[in-house]
Chain A
Amino acid sequence: MIKRELYQDVIFETIHKGATVISKDVKAAFERSIASETSDSAREGLIQTLKSIETSVQKDNPACPDTGWPIFYFKVGNECVLEDGFMGLEESTRDAVRKATKLGYLRATMKHPLTGRGPSDNIGMNIPNFTYQFIPGKNIEISYVAKGGGSECFGGTRHRVLAFADGIPGIEKFIIDCYVASTRAGAVCPPSILGIGIGGTANVAANLAKEAACLRTIGSAHPDPLIHKIEIDLYEALNSLGIGAMGSGGKVSVHGVNIEYAYTHIAGIAVATSTNCMVARRATSRINSDSSVEILDSPNWFEGR
């Protein structure tokens, strides 16, 4: 049995790391973009951002004050046993979010949607949000995502339903149009990681898009060659738009394009997008059944899909 004290500590440390330490694949994307950017001002923007990311580790500060929506993904072994069960897991997660907010690792951003008020601890109706996936085994993997407001509010998250007749051109046109609109004036903090969900009901497509943006590493390839070809084609097309860092013009417009799909009703294809900020923040830890803890570079969320 995995003790509550252990998983509560691991959840807090996962939040702490997610807010303050940028993942290796995200940093590598910055290094590649700095090398290839031809606009002096956009390159300088990328250099300053990378420097700030590196400084956040030294200062033990958030990489960006907009720590956004606290979102948790649990990949749970079918035989995993937690002290106090899954209700204990969720309660401990809320406690860890409260603690991280009090210590200044998270900004108290979550408020009532109509009054704009709240207890300033990032806890409220349906927040934090939890998603579960069940796999064979006895371990639990905990991924924390800080989903920033810029990338979420200003057009980065969209969906529409296309006719089957509209096919790949319809999907790709929708993606290009959405990305241009949402990156205008740097609204979603480009170069973003663009997640795309295709198929399923609209909510399934939206969830897949969010998970593709936040839980796949930059440069990872979808195993289906048809889907991966669309990832590559869109990556190249989006990087020809001239959007640049924070939308001020430049060669590098997107850091990654990740697509996930679900089977769908042949009557219509739901397509959803979700952008993640250039300063993409996430962290993943695994607690094994023997209570050993590992820090993972990738959330492995889609492994075995």
Chain B
Amino acid sequence: MSATRIKVGFSSLLSPRVATANCIRRERRRDRWQDTKWSQPNTQFEEICLKTRIAVPVILASMALAGLSLVQTTRSQPTPHHIEITAKRFNFTPGEITLKKGEPVVLVLTSTDVPHGIRIRELGIEVKAGKGQTSQVAFTPDKVGTFVGHCSVFCGSGHGSMAFTLHVTE
């Protein structure tokens, strides 16, 4: 630092033109050095550092936004209520349930003897379960009223009377 000062000092003593030229040269050298350091990375490590310097804040910001939206989604959509229904020739147990309009539910149907199903035409619900199997259907009731569904898989002489009633209240 002192050497530079001395050099500057001498140049200034020689002539103002020389001093100006020296100054310009030094500026150019400094610019070249800076260009080399930041714009043209010499090693792979430097390249990674350069990229990371930009990428890290972007990634962090994205993660924060995603977290925020997840929290909002969770708050606006409550966890669906699971309702278990057992089907056996020629009844559903329970045979009647009451739900609230707009609240999401999952009907879990288990068939204990032969294949059965539930179909409620007005609400667009259909779920079928094979012999000894469980199936489920998720839905959100959007109408108020009493809806009667029937077994949707032919299961024998009482198939037509195998009904399931769903009440939807406000």
A, B from the same assembly: no
Interface residues of A (CB under 8 A from B): none
